[in-house]
Amino acid sequence: MKRSRQRKPQTVAEGHLGALGRLVDGAFPDPTQFFDHGLALLVQQLGVDRAVMARITDLGWEAFWWATAEGTGADAAVHQPAVTFCPQVLEHPQRTLVIKDASVDPAWRDHEAHRTLGLRGFIGAPLVMSDRFLGVLSASSSRPKAWTRAEVAMVKALANLFSKTLEVENLKHELRVTRDALDLTSAVVEDSALESSATRLPTRPYLDIWLKANLYLARRRGEAMAVAQFQLELSPDRRRRLKEVAEALRGEDLLVDLGHQAFLLLLPRTPQEGAQILLDRIRQRLGAVPMGATLWNPLHRTDRDDLALKKASHRVALALGRSQELFRNGASQVVWDVLPLNPEDLADTTNPW
């Protein structure tokens, strides 16, 4: 008789994580209306032309939420925050930037925001998430504005509320990603296709599942991952040593049997220096086997969207080939093939919220 495979019962972790996600979603609903009403309130109460939430990304400044006074469209003062006084807000983020009339203020009358955009009254406060200044909440007008203490306090309070809201949105996203990763992990049941019969290590199909569960979150957090590959002829003694290496790895690390005596090691959240120490220890245990290594770096535009690890796998294979060539010539070392990270190579790491 053919037996049907039954789904494993929900684990305690799954139950608690799901409950936590529902609690956060319920307690903090979609922030769209909060931003809409908050910015509209600023425009109305302050009597300004526009209120804008702008963020700084690797590609420059970007307006991502705004409200304008009746009869005022979303003009260049909205869509070009880099030309406004926003950059000056983050030069001194500990205090709110208040400009009553840029046309008569010696510090600001020659600024591009006044000369090209016609801004005269301006107030800006930083948006902060996880102790990182990510943007500015500003209100501006083409007319002079004598800001009162109450108005300054109102802008600072809303900037703080908006910052906390962005942090909550980030938390909600982290929970969803973690929950998806747990669902994927829980879906991996005992299956001969996921474990090598020769080494009892995970195989390529398991690697595909693992990458889907881990790389997206690593990319979001900007965490590099070391990747190493080596060949190993499996004598009984080396099988035992390989098992010892696998058991000694950190819980988040993954050693994969690629077949044909090839093995792939993934070390999340590990820079090159730390990975080299671990690889040296492994080679002390397995012997001076040729080994190639690279870094999958989500801060590099080449790796940013490579969530299948194809480009990193190509680099590590080339590095392994060079290590094997050195080995044949009597040298034994780990060869690295790491992408240079120049300013022009930086990826857009803007975090969605």
The string of pLDDT tens digits covering residues 237-247 is 888 999 999 98
| Residue with tokens 């991996």, as numbered in its chain | 188
CB 216 within 8 A of CB 247: no
Distances (CA, A) of 310 to 122, 151, 207, 255: 49, 53, 12, 17
**Sign of the alpha-carbon dihedral angle for 47, 50, 53, 54:** negative
**pTM attached to this predicted model:** 0.51
Domains (range + CATH), the chain: 26-172 (3.30.450.40), 188-345 (3.30.70.270)
CB 42 within 8 A of CB 48: yes
- Low-confidence residues in the chain, pLDDT < 70: 1-30, 58-59, 176-177, 179-193, 349-353
Over the range 117-136, which residues count as b (16 or more CB within 10 Å of their CB) and which as e? bbbbbbbbbbbbbeeeebbb
What is the per-residue pLDDT for 6? 37
Over the range 47-82, which residues count as b (16 or more CB within 10 Å of their CB) and which as e? ebbbbbbbbbeeeebbbebbbbbeebeeeebbebbe
Residues in the chain: 353
What is the per-residue pLDDT for 254? 93
